[in-house]
Structure 1
Amino acid sequence: NHLLRRPLEEIYYLWQLTGGDIEAELRRQGLIKVKPAICTQPKVVIEEGEQFGQKKDSAFFLNDTVIILPLDQLKQRLKDIDPVIYYPLIENGSTSLPSNVSSIDLQETASLPLLIKEKDIEYQLHRVILFERLLNAYPYKRPQIVREARADIPPLYRGHVWAALLEIEGDIHSQYDQIDKETPTLTDRQIEVDIPRCHQYDELLSSPTGHNKFKRILKAWVVTHPQYVYWQGLDSLCAPFLRLNFSNEALAYACLSAFIPKYLNMFFLKDNSPVIQGTYFFIL
C-alpha cells in the first residue's frame, strides 16, 4: 500500500481533503459533548473576580482514548492513482510526469486558480510528495525548490518551503535555546500591549499559548539584534512565520531573522525615517 508508506501528517492532510472532520469523529465517539452556555456559568463571583460553584469542564482534562480514523474514503479516491506519483524522480532536475491520463489531468489542474488546486486531492498528493522529497534533499535541491515554488506550494509544507527559500540552515534549535528570552527588557511592555490587540483574527495566534510564543520570539529577536529597536508592527511581521511553524518556535524565529535583513534591511533602526522614505518611493 503506497499511501500508508507516507508520513502520518501527509495522510491526515489528505484525509481532511476528502471531507474528514476530526471534531465530527470525536463527537461521534462521545468525546465532545455540547453543553448549554448557561451551564458553564459560575454560581457566585466575588468582587475580586474569584468564581465559585462551577466544576471544571471535563474537556480540559487529559483523555488518552485512541480513535481510529476511517481511511476508506481516502483509499477510494486514490485507488486509481498511478504508483509512479509516489516516487518522483528529482535527480535529473525534472519533475515531469509520464504521459498517461493521470498526469494529463494533473497538468490541467496546475493551470487552475490556487484555491482550486489546494482542494484537489490528486494534485495535492503529487505536490506534497514532490516537496517532501525536495525538502529532504535541501540545500542541495534548493534551486529546484525555488522553481517549483513559483508554481504553487502545498499548504502542508509551506512553512518548510519558506524556510528553504530564506536559506535557513544549521542547528537552529540549539541557537534558539541559547538565547535569553526570560530576562525583562525595555520592550516587554510594548510587546505585551501589541500582541493581544493585533491578532484576534486567528484562533492559534490569539490563544494564550500563541501569545507566549509571540513574546518569546520577539524578545529573542530584540536580544540578538542590539543594533535595532522594537517598532510597532514587528509582531505582525512575525505572525505568518509563527502561524506556519506554530509547533517549531526555533524555525519561526530563524525565518523572521532571515527575512528582515533580506527585505527590510535597516528598517528597525532607532531613526528609520530615511529608510521609510526610500521604501515608500521604491513601492510607488
Structure 2
Amino acid sequence: MNGTLESLAGTSVLITGAAMGMGKMYAQLAVRDHAAHVVLWDVNAELLEQAVAELDGCGSQIHSYVVDVSRLEAIEEAAEKVRNDVGTPDILVNNAGIVRGKYFWEHDQRTDIAATMAINSLALMHITREFLPAMIAGGRPSRIVNVASAAGLLANPRMSVYSSSKWAVIGWSDSLRLELKQAGHGHIKVTTFCPSYIKTGMFEGARGPLLTPLMEPADVTERVWRAMKEGTPILMMPWTVKLSTALRGVLPIAAWDVVAGRVFGVYKSMEHFTGRK
C-alpha cells in the first residue's frame, strides 16, 4: 500500500488548470495510465471543451467543470458536483496557477496580489481540504501533487508576490505530508513540485539562469507523473534548483547575492518577462 502506484486502473484523477499546457498533459498521462475517471477543472470554458474533445474516447471517462479556483464558493460547489458525479478523487493534481512579474509596488491590490495568493496558495488548500477527509477515510492508495516553484525557495526581483505564494505552498504542502505520516495515514502521499522556468508561455520573456535552460513541458510532466506514482516528497527541477538552495543555505547573504546576481544571473531572469499573451 505504501509503495509505488504501478497502475492507475480504477482510479479517479482530478487536475486543476487542465484545459491547456501542463494541466492538459497531466490529463493525457492519466488517460494513458488507464484511470477510470479523469476530472478536469479550469476557468476557461472554451479551452476546457476542446480538451475534453481531445481526450474523449481514449478509454477513461472525462468529466469537466468550469471552476474559478480563486473563489472558495466556486471550489465548494464544484467539489460537491465531483463527489456526486464521480466520488472522491484518488489523485489530486493542484496545477492551476498564475504569475505576475513586476516590482512589488507596481502590483494592483486585487488583480495581482489578491488574485495570485488566491489562485496559487489558498486554492490548493481549499481544494485539498474538500477531498482529504474522504481520502483519509477511504484507505485507498492516494496521491496529492502540489505545484510550487523554485521561486518559493529563492527570492528574486520582480517575483515578490509570486514567490510569496509559492513559499506558502511549499510550507503548507510539506507540512501536510508530515501530518499525514504522523497521523498514520500512510496511504496518502504528498509530492511538492518545485520547478524553474518551463516553456509553457506562462513565463514568456524570462531567461533561465546559468546552467538552467527553460525546460520542455512534456519532459517535466513525465517526471512529475513518475514522482507522483512513487510518492516522492519533494521534486526540484532541474538539478540547479537543489544546488542553488544549498548554496543559499550556507553562504552569507552578501556572498549569495553576488553568486545569484552576477554569476548565475538569477536576479536578472525576469527583466524581460512579458508573460502569456
- TM-score normalised by L of structure 1: 0.30
The structure with the larger Rg is 1
Q: Give the number of the structure with larger relative contact order, counting CA–CA contacts within 8 Å between residues 6 or more apart.
A: 2
- TM-score normalised by L of structure 2: 0.30
More strand by share: 2
More helix by share: 1
